[in-house]
């Protein structure tokens, strides 16, 4: 799942559920299918509520604001495993053992979840959902002889793939990140309240200061004694921080691995202007909203004016993360509207962040040309997406990926552009500013994480 996580802890009971609600609001771009929260109640157990749709529809803000608790977590969901229309799969998932109560919210995909599930079912486990996250709770439950945190850390050593987690374990907030570092997770603080969030932008909303990121392979425990850290005892060959977070998914006002997402996207646009110039264009424009910042950089480096040519309906969600092709197609029609007076008679360089299925690009180019544009040249601030992602982005098969089915020239013709060019993988990595061996580019290069780490899972 490509989702949003937010957790809060205070040694004193406070209205931190309202903070969690606000944090999820700031992370709404990471998931629109469901939202949920869980918290420790007066009986020392865990209560939870969740619903379908956007945060303000799924959760009752007024009710949550009236609850005092010391520990709470929340989740917004965009499903890549488990049925999206089944609230059983909505997070947080909760469970109780003889020793403690648990709640877990997960961002990422576990690539060996099916194998673990079959193993556990053979030992009598009964699964209540079809989401991969439930295997974590069952792995812990099968280690009843261990303290809960020990059972958790041992369980994490058996997982492969992407997981950033926020959990309630007893009365403590736990944040964990896989050893490969696929998905972001940051810690923050405001007065005596500690936070864990998928992105720093959510910390800004609740008035918290970002402390640091949860490191790959780290488990952070926040309780009445303060904050502690335990490493997951695994050695991995390299890191795999998701490059698509910088290209598309993260909010531009977030900071990932010390890099401003806004600055990365603007740098991508500048590099794109140098590697794929468009001297015939009169103006540059961005595809709202994810292509806009790269378009600023493209226009600046090209020495041409930037103009807004397309207006986005702010009350329509992001089409890439809608669950069906039909909804995606309908979304384009109601989401974007061109400004004819700016477009008519112009050669236009349109900058977008990516081409995945190609549906949006084709319809927008057609829309712009119908408004009288002389030429439309498309520039993409990421390499061609040719391979499916197995770590939490909804590109499950190569058959769905436009760039996997055709070369650039054929794709150009398919979407109706007068020219089409992508940024190179090298320029993408340079723009992010991290070493190439720390960045996952599998959706562009097909270089996936190898399954056989030095200490492979022994169930």
Percent of the chain exceeding pLDDT 70 equals: 92
For residue 160, tell me if it sits in a domain.
yes
Q: Residue 457: what pLDDT?
A: 45
Distance between CA 81 and CA 365 in Å, rounded? 32
Q: Residue 246: what pLDDT?
A: 97
Distance between CA 264 and CA 435 in Å, rounded? 14
Instruction: Give catalytic residues, as residue numbers.
Output: 3
**Looking at residues 123-131, what average pLDDT do you find?**
87
Strand 209-213 to strand 186-190: parallel, antiparallel, or no bridges (unpaired)? antiparallel
For residue 446, tell me if it sits in a domain.
no
Tell me if residue 312 falls in helix, strand or coil.
strand
CA 11-60-76 angle, 5° bins: 75
Backbone φ, ψ for residue 449 (5° rounding):
-60, 135
Q: What is the mean pLDDT of the chain?
A: 92
**Looking at residues 107-114, what average pLDDT do you find?**
94
Q: Are residues 210 and 274 in the same domain?
A: no
Q: Residue 322: what pLDDT?
A: 54
| CATH code of 389's domain | 3.40.50.2020
Per the structure, the count of domains in the chain is: 2
Q: Are residues 227 and 275 in the same domain?
A: no
Q: Residue 274: what pLDDT?
A: 98
pLDDT digits (tens, 9 = 90+) for 188-227: 999 999 999 999 999 999 999 999 999 999 999 999 999 9
Among candidate residues 304, 439, 295, 322, the one with its CA nearest the CA of residue 380:
295
For residue 48, tell me if it sits in a domain.
yes
Per-residue pLDDT band at 453 (split at 50, 70, 90): very low
- Tokens of residue 346, six digits: 């112009």
Per-residue pLDDT band at 125 (split at 50, 70, 90): confident
Q: Are residues 313 and 229 in the same domain?
A: no
**Looking at residues 326-350, what average pLDDT do you find?**
82
Contacts of 452 (CB under 8 A, 6+ apart): none
Distance between CA 405 and CA 180 in Å, rounded? 30
Q: Are residues 224 and 295 in the same domain?
A: no
pLDDT digits (tens, 9 = 90+) for 287-332: 988 899 999 999 999 999 999 999 887 766 554 555 566 665 555 6
Range of the domain at 163: 4-234
Q: Are residues 273 and 224 in the same domain?
A: no
Distance between CA 124 and CA 445 in Å, rounded? 40
Q: Are residues 208 and 285 in the same domain?
A: no
Q: Are residues 82 and 175 in the same domain?
A: yes
Distance between CA 359 and CA 361 in Å, rounded? 6
Backbone φ, ψ for residue 104 (5° rounding):
-140, 140
**Looking at residues 369-385, what average pLDDT do you find?**
97
Distance between CA 148 and CA 343 in Å, rounded? 61
Q: Are residues 203 and 278 in the same domain?
A: no
């Amino acid at each position: 799942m490509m989702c949003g996580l937010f957790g809060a802890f205070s040694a004193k009971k406070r209205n931190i559920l309202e903070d969690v609600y606000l944090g999820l609001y700031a992370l709404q771009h990471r998931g629109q299918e469901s939202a949920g929260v869980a918290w420790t109640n007066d009986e020392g157990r865990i209560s939870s509520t969740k619903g379908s749709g956007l945060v303000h529809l799924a959760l009752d803000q007024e009710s949550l604001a009236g609850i005092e608790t010391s520990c709470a977590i929340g989740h917004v969901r965009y499903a890549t495993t488990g049925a999206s229309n089944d609230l059983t799969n909505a997070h947080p998932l909760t469970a109780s053992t003889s020793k403690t109560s648990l709640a877990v919210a997960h961002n990422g995909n576990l690539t060996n979840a099916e194998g673990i599930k079959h193993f556990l079912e053979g030992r009598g486990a009964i699964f209540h959902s079809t989401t991969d996250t439930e295997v974590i709770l069952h792995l812990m439950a099968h280690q009843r002889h261990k303290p809960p945190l020990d059972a958790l850390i041992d369980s994490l050593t058996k997982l492969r793939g992407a997981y950033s987690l926020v959990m309630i374990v007893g009365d403590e907030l736990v944040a964990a990140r896989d050893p490969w570092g696929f998905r972001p997770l940051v810690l923050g603080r405001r007065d005596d309240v500690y936070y864990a969030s998928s992105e720093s932008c959510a910390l800004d909303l609740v008035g918290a200061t970002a402390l640091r990121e949860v490191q790959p392979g780290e488990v952070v425990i926040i309780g009445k004694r303060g904050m502690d850290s335990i490493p997951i005892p695994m050695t991995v060959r390299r890191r795999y921080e998701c490059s698509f977070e910088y290209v598309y998914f993260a909010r531009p006002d977030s900071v990932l691995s010390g890099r401003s997402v806004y600055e990365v996207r603007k740098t991508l646009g500048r590099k794109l202007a140098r590697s794929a110039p468009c001297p015939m264009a009169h103006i540059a424009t961005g595809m709202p909203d994810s292509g806009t910042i790269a378009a600023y950089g493209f226009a600046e480096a090209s020495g041409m004016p930037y103009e807004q040519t397309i207006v986005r309906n702010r009350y329509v969600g992001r089409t890439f993360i809608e669950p069906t092709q039909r909804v995606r197609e309908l979304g384009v029609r109601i989401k974007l509207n061109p400004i004819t007076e700016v477009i008519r008679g112009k050669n236009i360089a349109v900058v977008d962040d990516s081409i995945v299925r190609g549906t949006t690009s084709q319809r927008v180019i057609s829309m712009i040309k119908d408004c009288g544009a002389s030429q439309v040249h498309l520039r993409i601030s990421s390499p061609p997406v040719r391979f499916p992602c197995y770590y939490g982005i909804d590109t499950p098969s190569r058959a769905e990926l436009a760039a996997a089915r055709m070369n650039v020239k054929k794709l150009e013709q398919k979407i109706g552009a007068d020219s089409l060019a992508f940024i190179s993988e090298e320029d993408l990595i340079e723009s992010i500013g991290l070493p190439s061996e720390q960045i996952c580019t599998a959706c562009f290069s097909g270089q996936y994480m190898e399954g056989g780490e030095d200490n492979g899972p022994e169930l």
